[in-house]
Amino acid sequence: MEFAFCDQEIAAHRLTKDEYREILRRLGRSPNRAELGMFGVMWSEHCCYKNSRPLLGQFPTQGPRILVGPGENAGVVDLGEGLRLAFKIESHNHPSAVEPFQGAATGVGGILRDIFTMGARPIALLNSLRFGDLEDGRTRTLAAGVVAGIAHYGNCVGVPTVGGEVYFDPHYQGNPLVNVMALGLMETKEIVKSGAQGIGNPVLYVGSTTGRDGMGGASFASAELSEQSAADRPAVQVGDPFLGKALIEACLEAFQTGMVVAAQDMGAAGITCSTSEMAARGGVGIEFDLDRVPARETGMTPQEYLLSESQERMLLVVQAGKEAQIKEIFHRWGLQAVVAGRVIPDPVVRILFQGQVAAQVPTVALVEDTPVYHRQLLEQPPAYAQSAWAWCAADLPPCSAAGLGPERPWSQVLQQLLGGPNLATKQWIYRQYDHQVQNNTVLLPGGADAAVVRLRTLGQPGPHRGVAATLDGNGRLVYLDPYRGAQAAVAEAARNLSCVGAEPLAVTDNLNFGSPETPVGYWQLATACRGIATACAALGTPVTGGNVSLYNETLGPDGQPQAIYPTPVIGMVGLVEDLERLCGQGWVRKGDLVYLLGTGAPISLGGSEYLASVHHTLAGRPPAVDFARELKVQTACRGGIRQGWVASAHDCAEGGLGVALAEACISGCLGATLTISGAGRWDEVLFGEGGGRILTSVSPSHQGAWEAYLTEHLAGEWRCLGGVGGDTLTIHSQDGSTLIQVSLEDLTQAWQQGLTRYLA
Amino acid sequence: MGGQYSAQVYITLRPSVLDPAGAAVQVGLVNLGYDMVSQVRIGKYIQLTLEAPSLELAHREVDRACSQLLANPVIEDYRFDLTAS
């Protein structure tokens, strides 16, 4: 068959020859250049999930609190008392790799638009970051740029950045992950949907002007990074947070009038994506005139208009006759607002340019029945996983109660762990963020396992309620075992919420993976998705949407693509019924008793931070997640917090029990003396990792009530380890020998210098 | 023949890149009555003094410095004038 475009042009739009043949079949003719560009972006993984859609279908998405599930700009959950929360996570990995500051900043701008497009006012931001080895100067530049970019947009737009997580590992070298999550409270009576309605209704273009920035970002985001990416650099957009703030206010004001029928933000693939998705969701067509679009550059071609990813732009469908009133609102906020199109009965996207039809594509051809690739799943776990699972702790050098040999006492190992960039304080990062603007942040970054933001109900008496949010995803565990690792991420997110006293409600997930076209890559993706689906079902936290970022790979020096760790990031939100009953992670009072909940939970050194940073070994298999125990431990913790017995609660995560105890000491500026028992290796007891364990502290005055409660609800799964006090962390074994004894000052110093050694 | 050179480096945003500060200044100017101003683009001006064996080598070094540190080639263009001083 003779193609109107040569192979290179088709490949430049990142379409395969088969996909091009399918376009010819759907149109019944050759596409023109503008139409080819539209198909290129709409059929990218970023927009149509062609590799992941069959896998996402298994996620549980229903629940009594779920008002809006996957498919809209953001998920919405019912918080009761008339409050509704919109939330969503999105990645900006590829733009951040090329231009860290603007890439991360526009990632924040993009996720905020998803929230206020629904009619919600953004109330909080979180971010999940992954970088390479900090010893490398390029990593330090990337990390500093990304953090500054997030701070720039978030701080200027006036939305607090309240929490998040960051890991450093050579597997992310050159391909950092920048995932941003936003939460918003609905301000409008009706949730604003994105389906265009009402034949003849005007289509308004509002916000900023259109330039050539961000050309083809969506298809760029779906490609591997290579040295060539430097030449792709014009794909970087520049955000304007002050204009973004004006757009938030103008949109919320416009939605309040009830005259806006539908709204969609212009993110990836700009005008192409917003017109075709609005038309397809409404079952109608849209005619759109590019000559009306306010441009800030001259001589732009239709294709450039259609693919531009200029920031801070939205498309609204407005009731016929009300366009003047809506335009007036946007003009008052100093924003562009023009009628650039109308809703038409034919289900097509018709683009006009200089009086001619520049592109006309059936919406169904663009957004529905888009290509889907069902790939063959490996029948056996790949060789790398099988050999990792063959590892066991006995392969490590012998150790004793004194330490790893006479030269390496456990106290020193603990300080080494705390001083590593993955466990050290992230203060250098979150100090750059304004985490208190809007004046509703109750639990600040660094002090608790999850962030908590006050739900301000004006004029309402009674206990103040709050929303808690967390982001979790340990890529190393998912690499070693995608199923267990992904389950562990969901379980940890729920546990973090439970540790502050919040009831987990719902999930938004960001799937960061390598190429699904390799058998191992697809196995990782498919197996992790199954893990997330089963975990969310077991914990009763439906998935309301998210983002998929594939092809996170860099070309190594040998020319072979090297994938990142498969990294699903789980964003979870929870409800705090009473802000008076909240928990941080640090000890609160001298003399309080320390309890470990979930004492029977299986732990392992496989994939642990200890194994990676002390023994430089990537091996082992994370323990299976026991959801029955997980639910019991978390429910007991929340119950203790609600009763007012539990004064502090902290999840035993990376670094195991030893690091969790140290973190509770550092956060609370109080020492503790504890006795732990264990069978097997002492490093496994101290630093082994696994879910289902929470460390709590309780005042002796509540000892009787708390222990009776635990005996009833968590029989055989709890133990009192000792008490809070003094200025050292002292850990004895059950036979009386001292495992660890470190002064609070030394612990704190190691922990505080972990990041600032590299980033200053 | 070695000597001292001075370079005047001009760094501007690439034409396709949005300049929020420039746009804000343009609006400010119009509000003050300068309504003839239709566009403002803000850049940086950097002066360098350097020693080099020749004008050619000085040119090469300044060019390298610009692309590595002074300008962000992802979003900025640069040009410079170089003279013996």
Percent of chain A residues past pLDDT 70, beyond the cut: 96
CA distance A264 to chain B (A): 22
Q: Does residue A227 register a pLDDT over 50?
A: no
Taking an 8 Å cut-off on Cβ atoms, the answer to whether A238 and B73 are in contact is no
Q: What is the mean pLDDT of chain A?
A: 91
CATH of the domain at B62: 3.30.1280.10
Asked if A211 has any chain B CB less than 8 Å from its own CB, the reply is yes
Residue of A nearest to B19 (CA): A238
Look up residue A520 and give its two tokens: 């191992």
The answer for residues whose C-beta is within 8 angstroms of residue A736's C-beta and 6 or more apart is none
CA angle A711–A712–A714, rounded 5-degree value = 65
Residue of B nearest to A299 (CA): B16
The angle that helices A241-256 and A323-332 make with each other, rounded to 10 degrees, is 150
Of all residues in chain A, what percent are helix, strand and coil, respectively (each to 5)? Answer: 35, 25, 35
Q: Does residue A453 register a pLDDT over 80?
A: yes
In this predicted structure, what is the pLDDT of residue A428?
95
ipTM of the complex: 0.75
Number of CB atoms found within 10 A of residue A746's CB: 16
Q: Does residue A562 register a pLDDT over 80?
A: yes
Do A583 and A668 meet the contact criterion of CB atoms below 8 Å apart? no
In this predicted structure, what is the pLDDT of residue A232?
47
Q: Does residue A460 register a pLDDT over 70?
A: no
Range 292-311 of A in CB contact (< 8 A) with B: 296-297, 310-311
- Residues linked to residue A467 through DSSP beta bridges, in sequence order: A453, A575
State how far the Cα of A641 lies from the Cα of A597, in Å rounded to an integer.
13
Q: Among B15, B16, B24, B76, which Cα is nearest to A240's?
A: B24
In this chain, the answer to whether the domains covering A1-61+194-370 and A411-424+583-760 adopt an identical fold is yes
The answer for residues whose C-beta is within 8 angstroms of residue A129's C-beta and 6 or more apart is A143, A146, A147, A164, A165, A166, A167, A176, A177, A178, A179, A429
- The least confident of A24-28, A503-507, A648-652 is A24-28
Torsion angles phi and psi, residue A38, rounded to 5: -65, -45
Do A371 and A308 meet the contact criterion of CB atoms below 8 Å apart? no
* pLDDT band for position A706 (cuts 50, 70, 90): very high
Asked if A757 has any chain B CB less than 8 Å from its own CB, the reply is no
Taking an 8 Å cut-off on Cβ atoms, the answer to whether B16 and A102 are in contact is no
Look up residue A313 and give its two tokens: 């732009």
Q: Does residue A437 register a pLDDT over 50?
A: yes
What is the DSSP pairing of strand A503-512 with strand A561-563?
A: unpaired
Query: Which of B13, B17, B72 best probes binding to A when mutated, by most A CB atoms within 10 angstroms?
Result: B17
Of all residues in chain B, what percent are helix, strand and coil, respectively (each to 5)? Answer: 35, 35, 35
**In what helix (H) or strand (E) does residue B3 lie, and over which residues does it extend?**
strand B3-13
Look up residue A448 and give its two tokens: 């608790």
CA angle A64–A260–A78, rounded 5-degree value = 15
Please give the biggest Cα pair distance in chain A: 88
Mean pLDDT, to the nearest integer, of A241-249?
Answer: 95
Mean pLDDT, to the nearest integer, of B2-18?
Answer: 90
Where b means 16+ CB within 10 Å and e means fewer, A392-420 reads ebeebeebeeebbeeeebbbbbbbbbbbb
Q: Among A579, A717, A695, A581, which Cα is nearest to A642's?
A: A581
Q: Three-class SS of residue A104? A: helix
- The domain total for chain B is 1
| Chain A environment of B77 (Cβ under 8 Å) | none
| Chain B environment of A296 (Cβ under 8 Å) | 18
State how far the Cα of A149 lies from the Cα of A103, in Å rounded to an integer.
7
Residue with tokens 């450093």: A168
Taking an 8 Å cut-off on Cβ atoms, the answer to whether B18 and A237 are in contact is yes
Percent of chain A residues past pLDDT 90, beyond the cut: 72
**In what helix (H) or strand (E) does residue A157 lie, and over which residues does it extend?**
helix A137-157
Q: Does residue A463 register a pLDDT over 80?
A: no
Residue ranges covered by each domain of chain A: 1-61+194-370, 411-424+583-760
In which domain, by residue range, is B9 found?
3-17+43-84
State how far the Cα of A614 lies from the Cα of A686, in Å rounded to an integer.
13
What tens digit of pLDDT does each residue of A179-202 get?
999 999 998 888 888 899 999 999
What tens digit of pLDDT does each residue of A107-136 get?
999 999 999 999 999 999 999 999 999 999
- The least confident of A337-351, A371-385, A646-660, A736-750 is A371-385
Residue with tokens 């009833």: A712
Q: Which among A102, A208, A297 has CB closest to B75?
A: A102
Residue with tokens 């610009």: B66
* pLDDT band for position A442 (cuts 50, 70, 90): very high
Beta strands in A495-536, from DSSP E residues, in sequence order: 503-512
Answer yes or no: A46 catalytic.
yes
In this predicted structure, what is the pLDDT of residue A298?
83
| Chain B environment of A99 (Cβ under 8 Å) | 72, 74-75
In this predicted structure, what is the pLDDT of residue A216?
54
CATH class for the domain made up of A1-61+194-370: alpha beta
Mean pLDDT, to the nearest integer, of A24-28?
Answer: 87
Mean pLDDT, to the nearest integer, of A26-54?
Answer: 83
**Greater model confidence, A43 or A217:** A43
Q: Three-class SS of residue A469? A: strand
Q: Is the C-alpha dihedral spanning B60, B64, B70, B71 positive or negative?
A: positive
* pLDDT band for position A233 (cuts 50, 70, 90): very low
In this predicted structure, what is the pLDDT of residue A459?
61
Do A733 and A676 meet the contact criterion of CB atoms below 8 Å apart? yes
In this predicted structure, what is the pLDDT of residue A533?
97
Residue of B nearest to A98 (CA): B74
Q: Which among A213, A242, A334 has CB closest to B17?
A: A213
Residue with tokens 């299986």: A602
Look up residue A646 and give its two tokens: 């539990």
Q: Does residue A510 register a pLDDT over 70?
A: yes
Do A646 and A640 meet the contact criterion of CB atoms below 8 Å apart? yes
What tens digit of pLDDT does each residue of A530-558 get?
999 999 999 999 999 999 999 998 777 77
CA distance B18 to chain A (A): 6
Asked if A234 has any chain B CB less than 8 Å from its own CB, the reply is yes
Q: Does residue A692 register a pLDDT over 60?
A: yes
**Greater model confidence, A488 or A400:** A488
The answer for residues whose C-beta is within 8 angstroms of residue A29's C-beta and 6 or more apart is none
In this predicted structure, what is the pLDDT of residue A231?
47
Torsion angles phi and psi, residue A559, rounded to 5: 85, 0
Torsion angles phi and psi, residue A63, rounded to 5: 180, 160
Number of CB atoms found within 10 A of residue A520's CB: 17
Taking an 8 Å cut-off on Cβ atoms, the answer to whether B17 and A297 are in contact is no
| Chain B environment of A239 (Cβ under 8 Å) | 18, 20
* Cα within 13 Å of Cα(A35), Cβ side: 25
CA distance A300 to chain B (A): 11
Number of CB atoms found within 10 A of residue A80's CB: 12
Q: B38 lies in a domain?
A: no
| Chain A environment of B25 (Cβ under 8 Å) | none
Using only C-alpha atoms, chain B has a radius of gyration, in whole angstroms, of 17
Asked if B21 has any chain A CB less than 8 Å from its own CB, the reply is no
Answer yes or no: A92 catalytic.
yes
Q: Does residue A225 register a pLDDT over 60?
A: no
In this predicted structure, what is the pLDDT of residue A217?
53
Look up residue A334 and give its two tokens: 């100093």
Asked if A238 has any chain B CB less than 8 Å from its own CB, the reply is yes
Q: B67 lies in a domain?
A: yes
In this predicted structure, what is the pLDDT of residue A2?
56
Q: What is the mean pLDDT of chain B?
A: 92
Q: B8 lies in a domain?
A: yes
What tens digit of pLDDT does each residue of A290-340 get?
999 999 888 888 888 988 888 899 999 999 999 999 999 999 999 999 999
Instruction: Please name the fold of domain A411-424+583-760.
Output: Phosphoribosyl-aminoimidazole Synthetase; Chain A, domain 2 (3.90.650)
Torsion region of A702: left, alpha or beta (phi above 0 gives left; psi -120 to 50 gives alpha): alpha
